[in-house]
């Protein structure tokens, strides 16, 4: 008996839904299964860009009223739902399973009373922040970043965690008149030490209180504020925003039941995303990387696969764009023979024309001269990165999922599309349940 689907996408993150649509455009039969059935947070990247936009308007002296800003963020969420919501996926042809699902041995997914089998499974890692073990945090309560626009803006907030989302929120809220306390900054420096120091200086100049790696020993409820106990003394804030690094919980999917190991760092898999179960793949929670894993899971020939560029972006004002290795990583890999070229942003002709003085350009080359890392911080960082890496015109560093899928679809000749559809049909027809019993 043949299987019904070429691919099962597991997980409701912002990368899983666009990857399901992309696989559908290639001719695959796709099913999408939600993770835990809890509140949908997949639109969070769009909301994060919206917060950044509101902060930039405030810095330009054109702030929106609080109710107008809340309406703007709600519109962004509605646009996401219209493009990638459950109804949009089902209308496009994806078999949508919004109820919680679990992996069952030898390898299948059980959800809503159905048992689903496919040629391949791609589990997109979750993006829920880790809840630190701080005494009183769960009792007093906190706010998720994607829920903040549903409540009136507080006067004082403490943001726990300082990754990309945390620093963007810190800058935006500070510009909107909220006093922000940021704990800690260790994650910012992982981008690049020099750029991390520049980000710290920028946030301090805008009024954000940086507490470094100062520990929070306990949190207590005040009237009506919340009290953070720390060695330097208690700190009263109106709200606590949790924006720490995401953590994976294998219990959500029952990973151990199908013989795949996992830990706090995620599911164990090889560099291509494949686990010990040869039909089970794991994709990072980023659209381009998830799409690359989906390509491999569908069994596309290597010459059809387009690898995702290892790009990172922090949508600050000015933004940060990073590609490849940092200086520390390059020295660990190549030794002290690497070549590091630095150029202050204000040395660029365009920056001089626009009187833009904040930023840095850092280029890292291996001993033979090959480019291994580019780190840009400046107002036109995305455009400059596209030129450096030879990206297609009109496609930014972090393209929308529709733009990315459209670019790949348009660049694929008709004979390749016919070949892929034939291959996917053959996979469905010749993959039987007996194949799953063999692992």
Which residue is it, tokens 């490849």? 324
Cα(359)–Cα(365) distance, rounded to whole angstroms?
20
**CB of 158 closer than 8 Å to CB of 179:** no
Which residues in the chain come in under a pLDDT of 70?
A: 1-2, 35-41, 126-128, 185-190, 247-251, 263-266, 301-310, 350, 390-439
Cα(237)–Cα(189) distance, rounded to whole angstroms?
26
CB within 8 Å of 78: residues ≥ 6 apart: none
Annotate 193-251 with three-state secondary structure.
HHHHHHHHHHHHHCCCEECCCCCCCEEEECCCCEEEECCCCCEEECEEEECCCECCCHH
Q: What integer pLDDT is reported at residue 187 of this predicted model? A: 52
Q: What integer pLDDT is reported at residue 326 of this predicted model? A: 84
Portions of the chain given CATH number 3.30.390.30? 316-389
| Element (DSSP H or E) covering residue 31 | strand 30-34
Token readout for 328 is: 């520390």
Q: How many CB atoms lie within 10 A of CB 332?
A: 10
Cα(313)–Cα(336) distance, rounded to whole angstroms?
27
CB within 8 Å of 124: residues ≥ 6 apart: 9, 10, 11, 13, 15, 16, 19, 282, 283, 284, 285, 290
CATH topology classification for 316-389: Enolase-like; domain 1 (3.30.390)
- Give the three-state DSSP class for 119: strand
The reply to whether CATH 3.90.1720.10 applies to domain 137-242 is no
The gap from C-alpha 392 to its chain's centroid, in whole angstroms, comes to 22
Token readout for 39 is: 């509140």
Q: What integer pLDDT is reported at residue 194 of this predicted model? A: 84
Token readout for 296 is: 């491999």
Angle at 352 between CA 349 and CA 358, to 5 degrees: 110
pTM score above 0.75: yes
Q: How many CB atoms lie within 10 A of CB 201?
A: 12
Q: Report which of 164, 209, 201 is spatially closest to residue 182, judged by C-alpha positions.
A: 209
CB within 8 Å of 125: residues ≥ 6 apart: 11, 13, 246, 248, 266, 267, 282, 283, 284, 285
Cα(381)–Cα(319) distance, rounded to whole angstroms?
6
Portions of the chain given CATH number 3.50.50.60? 5-42+85-127+247-309+401-437, 137-242
Q: What integer pLDDT is reported at residue 308 of this predicted model? A: 43
Angle at 301 between CA 297 and CA 304, to 5 degrees: 100
- Phi (first) and psi of residue 92, to 5 degrees: -75, -20
Upper half-sphere CA count for residue 423 (Cβ side, 13 Å):
14
Cα(243)–Cα(259) distance, rounded to whole angstroms?
32
Q: What integer pLDDT is reported at residue 136 of this predicted model? A: 92
Q: What integer pLDDT is reported at residue 400 of this predicted model? A: 40
Residue ranges in 238-325 assigned as alpha helix (H): 287-297
What's the DSSP call for residue 378? S
Q: What integer pLDDT is reported at residue 90 of this predicted model? A: 92
Q: Is the peptide bond before 271 cis (omega within 30 degrees of 0)?
A: no
Cα(82)–Cα(50) distance, rounded to whole angstroms?
17
- Give the three-state DSSP class for 415: helix
Long-range contacts of 379-386 (CB under 8 A, 24+ apart): 379/318, 379/319, 379/345, 379/351, 379/354, 380/350, 380/351, 381/318, 381/319, 381/320, 381/321, 382/313, 382/319, 382/321, 384/321, 385/311, 385/321, 385/323
CATH topology classification for 5-42+85-127+247-309+401-437: FAD/NAD(P)-binding domain (3.50.50)
Q: Is the peptide bond before 318 cis (omega within 30 degrees of 0)?
A: yes
């Amino acid at each position: 008996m043949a299987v019904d689907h070429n691919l099962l996408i597991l997980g409701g993150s912002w990368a899983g839904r666009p990857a399901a649509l992309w696989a559908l455009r290639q001719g695959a039969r796709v099913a999408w299964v939600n993770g835990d059935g809890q509140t949908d947070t997949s639109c969070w990247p769009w909301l994060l860009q919206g917060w950044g936009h509101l902060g930039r308007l405030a810095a330009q002296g054109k702030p929106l009223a609080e109710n107008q800003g809340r309406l703007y963020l709600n519109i962004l969420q509605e646009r996401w739902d219209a493009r990638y919501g459950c109804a949009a996926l089902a209308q496009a042809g994806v078999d949508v399973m919004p109820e919680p699902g679990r992996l069952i041995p030898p390898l299948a997914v059980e959800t809503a009373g159905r048992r689903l089998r496919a040629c391949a499974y791609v589990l997109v890692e979750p993006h829920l922040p880790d809840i630190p073990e701080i005494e009183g945090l769960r009792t007093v309560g906190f706010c998720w970043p994607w829920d903040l626009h549903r409540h009136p803006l507080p006067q004082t907030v403490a943001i726990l965690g300082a990754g990309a989302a945390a620093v963007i929120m810190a800058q935006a809220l500070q510009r909107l008149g909220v006093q922000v306390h940021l704990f800690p900054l260790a994650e910012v420096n992982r981008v690049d030490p020099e750029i991390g120091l520049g980000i710290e200086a920028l946030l301090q100049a805008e009024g954000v209180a940086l507490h470094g790696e100062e520990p929070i020993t306990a949190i207590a409820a005040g009237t009506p504020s919340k009290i953070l106990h720390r060695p330097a003394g208690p700190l009263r804030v109106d709200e606590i925003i949790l924006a720490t690094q995401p953590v994976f919980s294998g219990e959500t999917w029952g990973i151990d039941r199908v013989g795949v190991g996992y830990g706090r760092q995620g599911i164990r898999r090889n560099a291509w995303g494949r686990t010990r179960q040869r039909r089970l793949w794991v994709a990072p929670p980023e659209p381009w990387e998830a799409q690359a894993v989906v390509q491999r899971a569908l069994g596309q020939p290597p010459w059809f696969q387009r690898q995702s560029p290892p790009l990172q972006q922090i949508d600050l004002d000015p933004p940060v764009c990073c590609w490849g290795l940092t200086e520390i990583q390059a020295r660990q890999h190549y030794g002290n023979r690497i070549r590091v070229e630095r150029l202050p942003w204000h040395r660029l002709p365009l920056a001089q024309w626009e009187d833009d003085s904040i930023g840095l350009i850092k280029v890292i080359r291996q001993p033979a001269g090959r480019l291994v890392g580019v780190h840009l911080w400046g107002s036109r960082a995305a455009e400059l990165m596209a030129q450096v890496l030879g990206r297609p015109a009109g496609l930014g560093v972090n393209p929308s999922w529709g733009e990315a899928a459209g670019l790949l679809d348009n660049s694929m000749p008709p004979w390749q599309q016919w070949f892929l559809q034939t291959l996917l049909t053959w996979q469905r027809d010749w993959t039987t349940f007996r194949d799953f019993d063999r692992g």
